[in-house]
Amino acid sequence: MASEANFATASIRLENLSKQFKEILAVDDVTLEVEPGTLVCLLGPSGCGKTTTLRMIAGFEDPTSGKVFIGDEDVTEMPPYARPSAMVFQSYALFPHMSVYENVAYGLKARRTPRSEIRTKVREALDLIELEGQDDKSPSQLSGGQQQRVALARALVIRPKVLLFDEPLSNLDAQLRVRMRGELRDVQRRLGITSVYVTHDQEEAFSIADVVAIMNQGRLTQLGSPLDLYRRPADRFVAEFVGLSNVLPAELVGSNDKGADIRVLGQMIHSRQAPTNPSASISVVLRPEAIRIVTGEDSGIPARVRTLAYIGPIARYTVAIDGDGTELIVDLSNPASDEFYEEGTAVRISLPKEVPALLS
């Protein structure tokens, strides 16, 4: 796309959107605003209603209640072909009876674009995704990654105001997935096109999203930048979903408007945020990388190493606390150093002195 500058994009607004399939409430009162030009990830476990939400934006499902706006326009009652959105499907949905060229030209033909204009636009789109010269191939002759790109080109060529992605990378192998998500993110940034991206993969979401929206059982549980969510998960579900976490019960010792002091496994920890409801039972999220294994005899909590695994640049231990047997996950970086602990070793662990927030 040569004329990237005049790519008109628009915000998306979902107002109290719900969808009831016979017995299942697939989407439950979701309200969400996507700023123009940003990429929002809908992240959640399988079956939580992400796809259904996306399909309501595209117009494939009628909301049971609520409204969908694209820009200032209420599109809730609009059929899919009248909406200014374009979708990239998990299965790519490339038309098997058409060539690559015809696939990309499809939306333009449907809009009765003049033939010469179609040719230039399709060329530009194929250039953009580095598939020039493959016009006459049938989709089945392309690799998974190439098919993915054709699907993207086909969606982009009609200049949609918003782009929708439903797990677009899940049919690719792990390496290609990482590369393609970089490319997708690149194109999205360059065109500055508002996008909603559905995935169940936390790492994928965090690596490409401006804003991540966590969904659970049809509800939107938390909305924020990847860092926000990591630092201040709103509840235990988010904490566990956005990354491996140790969620431990805590005892409230005292709190004021600057924070709170709690006791966890006998050790005092300061929270920079006071609990919203001091009388409820509270717990705390301890990131595996925030816990350390210490060697000194008198400091730390006595524990025993249960398992050890090397995952890329970190060593991941599970340790059982002596006494009640609570298990914790502990990540130590730089496992190449001599300092490692075999299974069964008695160790002492130390918890962080401070955490950003508490769960209640």
Partner 1 sequence: MPEPLTFSDWIRNRRPLLIIAGIQIVLLAFIATRVMDIVIVEDSREVVDGVETITLRRELIGDPLLFALAAVGMALPLSSKNLRREPVMLLTVQLMIVALLIFVLWPVGQIFVEGFEGSGGDKRFSLENYQRLFSRPMVARASRNTVLLGITSATLSTLIGAVVAYTLTLTDIPWKRILRVLVVLTLVSPPFAVSFSFILLFGRRGLITYDLLGIRAWSIYGPDGIIMVQLISNIPLAVLILMGVFSSMDRDLEDAAEDLGAKTFRLLRTITFPLVTPALLTAWLLNFISSISDFGNPMLIGGDFQLLAPQAYIQRVELFDPQLSAALAVLLVIPALFAFALQHWISNRKSYVTVTGGARTGQIRKLSGWFKWPLFSIVLFLGMFNLLLYGSIFVGAAVKAWGFDFSLTLRNVKGLLIAIGELRNSLFVAAVAGVLGGFIGIILASLVTRRRFAGRGALDFAGTLMYAIPGTVVGIGYIIAFNAAPYLWTGTFFIIIVAFAFRRLPVGLRSGVAAEKQIDPHLEEASLDLGASRPRTFAKVTFPLLRTAFLAGVIYIFIRSMTDLSAAIFLSSARTQLFTVRMFNVMVRGSPSEAAAFAALLIVIIMLALGLLGRLTGKSFVDLFRIT
Ligand X SMILES: Nc1ncnc2c1ncn2[C@@H]1O[C@H](COP(=O)(O)OP(=O)(O)O)[C@@H](O)[C@H]1O
AA letter at 320: A
Which residue sits closest to Mg ion, CB atoms considered?
51
Residue 73 bridge partners (DSSP): 70
Query: Looking at 46-54, 144-152, 212-220, 292-300, which segment touches Mg ion (CB under 5 A)?
Result: 46-54
AA letter at 25: L
Question: Of 3 and 46, which has the nearer Cβ to ligand X?
Answer: 46
DSSP state of 82: G
What phi, psi does 216 have (nearest 5°)? -145, 125
In whole angstroms, the minimum distance from the beta carbon of 52 to partner 1 comes to: 13
> Which of 243, 278, 241 has the alpha carbon at shortest distance from 257?
278
> Which of 283, 285, 303 has the alpha carbon at shortest distance from 294?
303
In whole angstroms, the minimum distance from the beta carbon of 118 to partner 1 comes to: 13
DSSP assignment string, 297-310: SSSSEEEEEEEEEE
Q: Residues in contact with Mg ion, total (CB under 5 A)?
A: 1
How far is Cα 316 from Cα 318, in angstroms, rounded to an integer?
A: 7
Residue 80 binds partner 1, judged by CB under 8 A: yes
Residue 51 binds Mg ion, judged by CB under 5 A: yes
Taking a C-beta distance cutoff of 8 angstroms, is the pair 360, 284 a contact?
A: no
Q: Which of 9, 18, 38, 51 binds ligand X (CB under 6 A)?
A: 51
Question: Of 184 and 265, which has the nearer Cβ to partner 1?
Answer: 184
Q: Which does 9 bind (CB under 5 to 8 A by kind): ligand X, Mg ion, partner 1, none?
A: none
Structure tokens at 175: 């390496």
Pairing, β 267-271 against β 354-355: parallel
In whole angstroms, the minimum distance from the beta carbon of 51 to ligand X comes to: 3
Residue 193 binds partner 1, judged by CB under 8 A: no
Taking a C-beta distance cutoff of 8 angstroms, is the pair 357, 232 a contact?
A: yes
In whole angstroms, the minimum distance from the beta carbon of 217 to ligand X comes to: 9
Residue 53 binds Mg ion, judged by CB under 5 A: no
Count CB neighbours of 68 within 10 A. Answer: 23
Name which of residues 210 to 269 contact partner 1 (CB under 8 A): none
Name which of residues 106 to 125 contact partner 1 (CB under 8 A): 106-107, 110-111
How far is Cα 319 from Cα 325, in angstroms, rounded to an integer?
A: 9
Contact characters 17-46, ligand X, x per CB under 6 A: ----x--x-x-----------------x-x
Residue 197 binds partner 1, judged by CB under 8 A: no
Count CB neighbours of 292 within 10 A. Answer: 14
Q: Which does 165 bind (CB under 5 to 8 A by kind): Mg ion, partner 1, ligand X, none?
A: none
In whole angstroms, the minimum distance from the beta carbon of 110 to ligand X comes to: 25
Residues that bind ligand X (CB under 6 A): 21, 24, 26, 44, 46-52
Residues that bind Mg ion (CB under 5 A): 51
